[in-house]
Amino acid sequence: VFQDNSQGGARALNRAAAAPAPRRKSLLVTAFLSHTGKASLPTVLPVTVQPQPAAHSGYHLIGFDATGKRVADVQMALSAVHVDREYPPLELEGVIPAAGVVRIAIVKAGVTLVGRHASAHRPTVHLRGVPSVRHGAAKIRWRAADADGGRLEATIEYSADGGHHFRTIWIGLSHGLARVPARYLSRSAKARVRVTVNDGFLSATATSRRFRSPGSAPYVKIISPTPGTRVRNDASLLLVGQAFDDRLDVLSGRLLRWMLGRRLLGTGAQISVAGLPAGRHRIKLLARDIFGRVGSASVVVNLRATRPLFVTLRVPGKVSRKAHRLSLKVASSLSAKLAVRIAKKSLGSFRVDRKLRRLSIHIPTGRKTLKLKLTLRSAGLHTTVAVAVRRR
């Protein structure tokens, strides 16, 4: 796995963009130095940027014209990158004016480390219609050729505003076909794609006509809990997720809904729930964009049954001997069934959960003290509490 800490030339371009000078056609050169000192030069890309400010790495990027005359010389920016299970190489980036340059070389202390000469022919590229979108994926087709027989690398960019602004959606070897998720081509009535092929020095670009892109429902990911999570069903369960629409805007708040079956658990990117029923459950995160399209993700969790407990139980200490009803306030650690009895006589059965609920119990009149038994039952487990209510 290769990770480029410079973000694909972004640092060199940003340095160039910061200089107070007009933009001009240039070449962005990226090279790598191994721990043994061996240099490789994978890309030379045409860009239009401001001149690069002076660096102090000691590595010079030199451009030569067709006569061999030196026409450009800049010091390259130097940074470290990471490669899994290998010695980290150094990355060199530099931007030089493209005018008249047909050969480049990277030089340190008068020694040429690596170089490249422009091929005799510029590659060609032609788009084969507009992208086709089906089953959540977009196919982009093109024809590219290089009279010099070299390998071509392709870069695909997408514009949702008719070509005023483009963003890169795919990079790879040019085989004439690329498949990308439909969400990479956000919904637009004036979409365009642009394909650029590069032979290592020279490039060619083709831009599509405008077309209508359907885009895609939001991309949704559940971060927590992880699949197969096992917890007690009376413990708090942290639900964390994220969602992006096809314009890469973050969706949040009420646009995100956490569901357990048809039950709404809450809204937002992060919530905490407790007291869910025991068993194996699939929790879903639904995300809705401004067009009403809904994307979803789900995760299965295993909730281990625990004994329900009274979180709140408020019973009057005394009641009138003529009273026909008794008011209780109850909240349970779990969604449970509450049974209220006097001796062997049932006074009612109620569904309770963590939300405080007021219950009205029909009671007999008389002088005798009411000896109530309140039993919570959930997933085959129960808790019983005895309460006495005096008559007055």
Residue 5, pLDDT above cutoff 70: no
Phi, psi of 323 (to 5 degrees): -65, 140
> pLDDT tens digit string along 150-188?
889 999 999 999 999 999 999 899 999 999 999 999 999
Q: By percentage, how much of the chain surpasses pLDDT 90?
A: 69
Q: Mean pLDDT, to the nearest integer, of 125-131?
A: 96
Cis ω for the linkage preceding 225 (within 30 of 0): yes
> Distances in Å between the alpha carbon of 303 and those of 42, 56, 271, 277, 306?
52, 60, 17, 7, 9
Question: In one letter, which amino acid is 119?
Answer: S
CA triplet 383, 384, 385: central angle to 5 degrees? 125
- The beta-carbon contacts of 330-333 under 8 Å, at least 24 apart in sequence, are 330/356, 330/357, 330/359, 330/374, 331/355, 331/356, 331/357, 332/275, 332/308, 332/376, 332/378, 333/234, 333/274, 333/275, 333/306, 333/308, 333/309
Residue 41 CA to residue 198 CA, distance in Å, equals: 14
Can you say how many angstroms the Cα of residue 382 is from the centroid of all Cα atoms in its chain?
43
**Stretch 253-275: mean pLDDT:** 95
**From the centroid of its chain, how far is CA 271?**
18
pLDDT interval class at 263 (50, 70, 90): very high
Q: How many CB atoms are closer than 10 A to CB 274?
A: 15
Q: Is the pLDDT of residue 376 over 90?
A: yes
pLDDT at 15: 53
> From CA 264, how far away is CA 269, in angstroms rounded?
14
pTM over 0.75: no
pLDDT in tens, 71-121: 999 999 988 776 556 677 888 999 999 889 999 999 999 999 999 998 888
Q: Does position 1 have pLDDT exceeding 60, yes or no? A: no
151 phi/psi in degrees, rounded to 5:
-80, 135
Average pLDDT over residues 353-367: 92
Looking at residue 215, what DSSP letter applies? -
**In the structure encoding, which two tokens stand for residue 93, read together?**
């980036």
DSSP 183: G
For residue 202, the SS3 value is coil
The SS3 call for residue 274 is: coil
Distance CA 129, CA 141 (A): 7
- Confidence tier at 200 by pLDDT (50, 70, 90): confident
What six digits make up the tokens of 14? 């940003």
Residue 367, pLDDT score: 87
CA–CA–CA angle 185, 188, 193 (5° rounding): 50
Residue pLDDT, tens place only, 284-319: 999 999 999 999 999 999 999 999 999 999 999 999
Question: At 96, which amino acid appears?
Answer: I
The rounded distance, in Å, linking the Cα atoms of 256 and 219 is 12
Least confident of 63-67, 147-151, 183-187, 193-197: 147-151
For the chain, give the number of residues. 392
Confidence of residue 201 (pLDDT cuts 50, 70, 90): confident
DSSP state at residue 250: B
317: left (phi over 0), alpha (psi -120 to 50) or beta: alpha
Structure tokens at 70: 């030196």
CA–centroid distance for 157 within its chain: 20
Query: Which pLDDT does position 54 carry in this prediction?
Result: 78
Compute the average pLDDT of residues 16-44: 80
Residues 184, 158 contacting (CB under 8 angstroms): yes
DSSP codes joined into one string, 35-86? TTS-EEEEEEEEEEEPPPPP--SSEEEEEE-TTS-EEEEEEPEEEE-EETTS
The CA distance from 184 to 140, in Å, is: 12
Q: How confident is the prediction for the chain on average, in pLDDT? A: 89
Place of tokens 């006097």: 342
pLDDT value, residue 2: 28
Contact assessment for residue 234 and residue 278, using Cβ atoms and an 8 Å cutoff? no
Instruction: Evaluate whether 81 touches 89 at the Cβ level (below 8 Å).
Output: yes
